[in-house]
Structure 1
Amino acid sequence: MPFKNRLISSLAAAAASMGFAALSTSAMADQLADIKAKGSLVCGVLGTSKPFSFPNPQTREIQGYDVDFCSAVAKSLGVKLEIKPISVAARIPELTQKRIDVIAANLGWTAERAQQIAYSDAYYVALQKVAVKRGAFARSTDLAGKRVSATKGSTSEIAIRAFLPTATPVTFQDPPPAFLALQQGKVDGFVVTEMVLVQLKAQSEADHPIDILEPPLAEEFWGIGMRKEETALIGHVNKTLRQMEASGEAARIFDKWMGAGTDFKMKRGFVVKPIQG
């Protein structure tokens, strides 16, 4: 083949290859279309955090606040919901490695996480608080220089380091062993969201009573986690959340799991809105 023809052929092949790569990149970045095409939304939840995601005692299916928000997003897309329980430490890796589509798993906003993934508008606002044995301490600031437990890699651990810098964080894979460490006297305090502490306080009142101290260590904004490049999905999720707020559905989900008719008897003091880093 003459050199000129070989050059033209090579350029054409290169152009075709570049075009294919561009199409592939575009397809990979259109997760919203992929979800609709496969007919399901895979939502990562903790599965062990009542009332956000936990097993139904009768059916053993995972239910809760986070699950209802995942369900609403799936419904808005016209697809079925697939729930995948994940650990705290695995939340972001499961998402970035594309084993789940979105995260709704007690995922508090942090600057470090926001560099890795995209957050939806805040659909829940949690307070990080300290639990101690009954009568041991009066205020959360009294834990300075003490041993304090938390879930490894969680915003609770971050709150200890930020607001109790002289305390020693003692971390565990999940909240139950971190709380057990407090009950066994291995640590002086245990940090987790107020919601979890309300439940643990009720459960332990008879044998291991605790106090929940003020002031809170931090205010934590929870969002649905998504991959940064998936702008269409991010836009759709935020649109759905805002519609849920406007229609009252978001408030009804809160009341269903945490309101006056539940063991928690909490009031909703927030609205769905963008997270301001």
Structure 2
Amino acid sequence: MRKLSLISFGIAVSALFGTQLARADQLADIKQKGTLVCGTLGNAEPFSFPNPQTRETQGYDVDFCGAIAKALGVKLELKLISVAARIPELMQGRVDVLAANLGWTPERAQQIAYSDSYFVSNQMVTARRADKYKTPADLSGKRVAAPKGSTSEAGARKYIPNVTTVTFQDAPALFVALQQGKVDGVVLSELTLVKWKHDAENSPVPIDILQPPLFVEPWGIGMRKEETALIKQVNDVLSGMEKSGEAKKIFDKYLGTGTTYNLQRTFRIEPIKG
């Protein structure tokens, strides 16, 4: 009986370590299957959004996913997901990596691994011009919307006194809610709000972006914590993109001079300091 118990124990230990090794070798699995599955939002211009002509998903996040897949020598497969589903999809193994407006927070960093920061986002508040709000603090006690499960939602509750948060699944729904007067303001990435402001300028309901920024957040590529080989590989790719100038080219393509946003790149790819 004792011998049998020891054998059973050995089998259990082997199975446990075998499972851990398998989980920790996702990089090899990706290369073997020949595909990198990247979770992205698909409705967050300029990061991931449908091309008006082809309807294929394109954008800043998509190009970074493509660069990682190319460096790994595999094909890119995009999986469109909601804000709230980002971490569950990753943890359940339905995507290999996340490039989905994924702002760093201490709480998320306990669940998943972040790559080095490949984008830095000002989180801003927008409101209808007719309401004459000037600063985020002017929305104290008001109804402010944000994507469900996002850092924008958490930031609204943290930085706007006595706010009532209202959540929606995606950015277009937030824009409609603001224009229809269902909420008093919206918290989102500055870039999305710049595009909104441009689009709404000649509409019956123009909007303004309130100053100063509500908070600033670094974005990283999300991965599972145990995938050490994949994490290193992704960071090596990002570092190479910074050195070669490819990262800046992607920024300029979607956000730089001549685009709707007309921004200058003021950050570099570097480790996120928690």
Report TM bin, short chain.
over 0.9
Residue 160 of structure 2 aligns with which residue? 164
DSSP 3-state at the match of 1:120: strand
Using the TM superposition, give the Cα deviation of residue 7 of structure 1 relative to its aligned residue in structure 2, in angstroms.
5.1
Gaps of 5+ in 2: none
Distance 1:10 1:139, change over 3 A: closer
Distance 1:163 1:26, change over 3 A: same
Using the TM superposition, give the Cα deviation of residue 112 of structure 1 relative to its aligned residue in structure 2, in angstroms.
1.2
Output one character per residue of 1:10-61: Cα deviation in whole Å (capped at 9) or x when no partner: 6445434533442232122211111111111000000001110011122221
CA distance in 1, matches of 2:68, 2:174: 32
Using the TM superposition, give the Cα deviation of residue 189 of structure 1 relative to its aligned residue in structure 2, in angstroms.
1.1
DSSP 3-state at the match of 1:216: strand
DSSP 3-state at the match of 2:117: coil
CA distance in 1, matches of 2:158, 2:4: 61
Residue 79 of structure 1 aligns with which residue? 74
Using the TM superposition, give the Cα deviation of residue 165 of structure 1 relative to its aligned residue in structure 2, in angstroms.
2.9
Residue 144 of structure 2 aligns with which residue? 148
Q: Which moved more, 1:108-117 or 1:175-184?
A: 175-184
Using the TM superposition, give the Cα deviation of residue 144 of structure 1 relative to its aligned residue in structure 2, in angstroms.
1.3
| Corresponding residue to 1:97 among 92, 99, 104 | 92
Kindly indicate whether residue 212 of structure 2 is the aligned counterpart of residue 215 of structure 1. Answer: yes
Residue 67 of structure 1 aligns with which residue? 62
Residue 235 of structure 2 aligns with which residue? 238
CA distance in 2, matches of 1:110, 1:9: 48
CA distance in 1, matches of 2:201, 2:6: 76
Gaps of 5+ in 1: 1-5
CA contact (8 A) 1:88 1:154 kept: yes
CA distance in 1, matches of 2:187, 2:9: 57
Residue 188 of structure 2 aligns with which residue? 192
CA RMSD of aligned residues (A): 1.4
CA contact (8 A) 1:160 1:191 kept: yes
Output one character per residue of 1:207-256: Cα deviation in whole Å (capped at 9) or x when no partner: 12111110000001110000011111111111111111111110010001
Output one character per residue of 1:100-154: Cα deviation in whole Å (capped at 9) or x when no partner: 0000000111111111111111100011111111152122221112111111111
CA contact (8 A) 1:149 1:179 kept: no
Residue 271 of structure 2 aligns with which residue? 274
CA distance in 2, matches of 1:244, 1:120: 13
CA distance in 1, matches of 2:163, 2:227: 39
Moved over 6 A (4+): none
CA distance in 2, matches of 1:75, 1:45: 17
Structure 2 length-normalised TM:
0.95
CA distance in 2, matches of 1:21, 1:222: 33
CA distance in 1, matches of 2:118, 2:79: 20
Distance 1:78 1:180, change over 3 A: same
CA distance in 1, matches of 2:9, 2:135: 67
Kindly indicate whether residue 34 of structure 2 is the aligned counterpart of residue 52 of structure 1. Answer: no
The structure with the greater share of residues assigned to strand is 2
Letter in 1 for 2:57: I
CA distance in 2, matches of 1:85, 1:55: 11
| Corresponding residue to 1:120 among 99, 115, 120 | 115
Identity across aligned pairs (percent)?
61
